[in-house]
Structure 1
Amino acid sequence: MNKCLLSFVIAIMLLVASLRAYGQYRDSIQIPVHDPVMIQEKDSFYLFATGRGISVWKSSDMQTWTRQNPVFEQATDWMKKIVPDFKNHIWAPDISHHNGFYYLYYSISAFGKNTSAIGLAKNSTLDENSPDYEWEDLGMVIQSVPGRDNWNAIDPNLVIDREGVAWLSFGSFWDGVKMVRLADDLKTVQNGKDDWFTIARRKRTYELNDRSPGDGAIEAPFIFEKEGYYYLFVSFDYCCKGAESTYKIVVGRSDKVQGPYFDRNGEPMQNGGGSLVVEGDDKWYGVGHNAALTFEEKDYLIFHGYEAKDNGRSKLLIRQISWDQDGWPSVSLVQE
């Protein structure tokens, strides 16, 4: 082989290798999102995420997405009363379908404070071209107040247990992730001694007070039931810092929805336990705030990551979950 031909072959091989390396981390869509959750209605997938009035996207294949109208064109009066100067930037939605309706939980908050509340809206369809499409805001579900509560009312996730009882997990920082029982209307909070639980928290290096989130960086619970276990996914460490983001997703499991949840080493999540599911790398500075969902008999993790090649901008990530022989989940950032 002459030198020119050899050089050409080497160049082609390098180009192919480069394209493959890029392809490993290609994403079906590079839409900028925080805190995504997804659901399917008929042949369409709908993605809800943090944004003005709640960001909504639609897709037929989980790859090509079209932006839809936000859920709320403007903030409601009750939102403005809870958070002064609220600008309609709504956090961390959670969507599910029950009794013929789509129930959408969402968070409003002052950043870094537990001046927060979780609200609820419902709709009979997600197709905004349907004559039946209309979001009905049901108002506030639960509120946290500085100086009164040692927890934060954000990042809701609804789970219906095997007995048909509704539970809402939520929370970040402070004294960790909480769970509360809901009435059959999926809104009314039950306040009995067996209706509230702390299901996960981080160990802290200094004393907590109710006006500071502390350094116990935990948030974004999502509970997923599989083969006799409830799996509690949470995000550790810090989001929203671009290249300085240290977000990662960990998990524990329990045979009861109320817990206690333990990681694969038997460490309780109430005491800082959590087995790693996925963390950032040189292409994604940090990854977190996930939903775990099943579509067409495949389990997926839907989450966001801070992409290195785009200056730490937050992007949508969809990855299939792998389960080991002991029933523990993991996710690779490399996309096949």
Structure 2
Amino acid sequence: MTAHSRTRSAGLSRRRLLTAALATGGAAAAATAAGTAYATRPDGATADLRAADYPGPGAVTGDVEVHDPGFVKRPGGGYLVAHTAPDIALKTSGDRTAFRDAGTVFPGGAPWTTEYTGGDRNLWAPHLSYADGRYLLYYSASTFGSNRSAIFLATSTSGDSGTWTDQGVVVESWTSQDFNAIDPHLSADAQGRWWLAFGSYWSGIKMIRIDPATGKRLGDAWHSLAGRGGDSIEAPTVFRHGGRYYLFVSFGACCQGADSTYRVMAGRSDDIAGPYYDRGGTPMTSGGGTEILAGHGGIHGPGHQDVFADSDSDILAYHYYADDGTALLGVNRLGWDGAGWPYVH
């Protein structure tokens, strides 16, 4: 979800078991600093990138119109998905293929967000986790073109529509500040500490500590993970693999239907708080990013990704636009080449 002026397509107003305590819903190309991209093969070799090198989304059926999807594996089996919509929409799936609508998080609305939304019920970019017998949902409240924004936390023991209790603001941004508090993503490091990444445009992607006992901010420290000098970057996802942390973000224009130029980029770090570097060694704080997935054929603007570990593979979930501008769910397996970089298959 971008907070810059965009028009959303009609009808759509937006994790790996990280530790024993926290389960969160945890390309084939590399982009050089000059913008040249290379397709990455599983053996670590590279070749000139062509759009056809990217696979299509895996088969999904049922209610698959989404924007900014966030996944979590349910403790009893199956999946819960939350996505951008009025009152935050929910979907369920038993097999990661067939999806059905499951109501909204806040059927009666969320009037406590009005200060940030101007009364619009459309809430953005939800991220789901499950820990200690409850679901945690971080979500954004803002308006297009403004960084007067806030990230809220809601919790539920079942995840079902209408059972969520809002826990208040986690972090907010003001127009006098140089960051934007939207697009949250909760993750845990190897020591079990919780972290929240977030951000869109402005000075880029930020990270703060989270108290596992409350789900709220812990301490006053800020970390800058990535930025493009005010250019497009948003939707951070942090995923731990092979002893490293991978930061996935979206570059390009969201929310313009088939004209969207969203694409998924990544960097990695030995520390969850950075610094993150792309495959060519460019810091992500200096605009670096290795391309993982971009538009190809009838798949337009894939982005606002979620990454999680499943029983059969690591998974990349995202939205993309069809030729008619409809925002749809994309799900692909995520592999890792010989040099430890992700690719979509």
State the TM-score, normalized to the length of structure 2.
0.80
- DSSP 3-state at the match of 1:321: strand
Which secondary structure does the structure 1 equivalent of 2:288 belong to? coil
Higher RCO, 1 vs 2 (CA within 8 Å, ≥6 residues apart): 2
Q: What is the rounded CA distance, in whole Å, between the counterparts of 1:201 and 1:267 in structure 2?
A: 12
Does residue 243 (structure 1) correspond to residue 258 (structure 2)? The answer is yes
Greater radius of gyration (CA): 1
Q: Distance in 2 between matches of 1:25 and 1:79?
A: 34
Structure 1 residues 109-188: aligned runs within 5 Å = 109-127=142-160, 134-147=163-176, 149-188=177-216
More helix by percentage: 1
SS in 2 for 1:68: strand
| Alpha-carbon distance in 2 for matches of 1:112, 1:226 | 35
- Let me know the Cα RMSD of the aligned residues: 1.8
Query: How many residues in Structure 1 have an aligned counterpart in Structure 2?
Result: 289
Go from structure 1 to structure 2 and tell me whether the alpha carbon gap of 1:157 and 1:110 turns closer, same or farther (over 3 Å shift).
Answer: same
1:187 Cα deviation (Å)? 3.3
Q: Is 1:324 equivalent to 2:337 in the alignment?
A: yes
Partners of 1:35 and 1:122 in 2: how far apart? Answer: 19
Q: Which residue of 2 aligns with 1:12?
A: none
Compared CA separation, residues 79 and 328, structure 1 to 2 (3 A): same
Partner of 1:17: none
Normalising by structure 1, we get a TM-score of 0.82
Alignment of 1:178-217 (within 5 A): 178-192=206-220, 195-202=221-228, 204=229, 214=230, 216-217=231-232
CA contact (8 A) 1:166 1:186 kept: no
Matched, 1:234 2:249: yes
- Structure 1 runs not aligned, ≥5 long: 1-22, 205-213
Gaps of 5+ in 2: 1-54
Q: State the alpha-carbon separation in 2 of the partners of residues 110 and 39 from structure 1.
A: 26
Give the Cα–Cα distance (whole angstroms) in 2 for the partners of residues 26 and 291 of structure 1: 15
DSSP-derived class of the 2:112 partner: helix
Tell me by how many angstroms 1:83 deviates. 2.9
* Percent identity over paired residues: 38
Name the amino acid aligned to 1:39.
V
- Residue 297 of structure 1: how far off its partner (Å): 4.1
Shift of 1:315: 0.4
Deviation at 1:272, TM superposition (A): 0.5
| 2:327 matched residue in structure 1 | 314
